[in-house]
């Protein structure tokens, strides 16, 4: 069975500060990993995904994530937070054998302080 754990249901950073959202995964097969963003009362938008190519994945809006197999982690980072980054972020996992079956984490709400 596959699962993801997002550490911290709420993260608050100052505008211009580093954003770090943590995600650990559990998978018995090589995983595909995703980060999605959800703005209030909207659907989910894909930020980036890892599918066994480069371990450092660059996404939209300046976000990136690094796949670390030894730590079973896929943390999301952005060097400098912007007010528009305030949203809910979901880490998710699937696999080659069931690529369309995506399991989502419980989400981390990111707040940006002026």
Partner 1 sequence: EAEVAQSPRYKITEKSQAVAFWCDPISGHATLYWYRQILGQGPELLVQFQDESVVDDSQLPKDRFSAERLKGVDSTLKIQPAELGDSAMYLCASSRGWTENTDTQYFGPGTRLTVL
Q: Which residues bind partner 1 (CB under 8 A)?
A: 9, 32, 36, 41-46, 49, 51-52, 90, 92, 96, 99-102, 104-107
Residue closer to partner 1 (CB basis): 78 or 90? 90
CB 63 within 8 A of CB 56: no
Residue closer to partner 1 (CB basis): 56 or 114? 56
> In the numeric block, which tokens belong to residue 60?
């939209």
**C-alpha to C-alpha distances, 96 to 23, 55, 56, 88, 101, nearest whole angstrom:** 20, 16, 19, 26, 10
As measured in angstroms, the least distance from the Cβ of 26 to partner 1 is 15
Residue closer to partner 1 (CB basis): 13 or 50? 50
As measured in angstroms, the least distance from the Cβ of 9 to partner 1 is 8
Rounded to whole angstroms, the Cα distance separating 43 from 14 reads 26
User: At a CB cut-off of 8 Å and minimum separation 6, what does 98 contact?
Assistant: none
As measured in angstroms, the least distance from the Cβ of 47 to partner 1 is 11
Residue closer to partner 1 (CB basis): 44 or 86? 44
């Amino acid at each position: 069975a596959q699962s993801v754990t997002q550490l911290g249901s709420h993260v608050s950073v100052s505008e211009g500060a580093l954003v770090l959202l943590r995600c650990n995964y559990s998978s018995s097969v090589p995983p595909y990993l995703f980060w999605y963003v959800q703005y209030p009362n909207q659907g989910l938008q894909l930020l980036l995904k890892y599918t066994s190519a480069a371990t450092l994945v660059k996404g939209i809006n300046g976000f990136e994530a690094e796949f670390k197999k030894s730590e079973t982690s896929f943390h999301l980072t952005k060097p400098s937070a912007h007010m528009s980054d305030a949203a809910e972020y979901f880490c998710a996992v699937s696999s080659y054998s069931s690529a369309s079956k995506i399991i989502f984490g419980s989400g981390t709400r990111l707040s940006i302080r002026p």
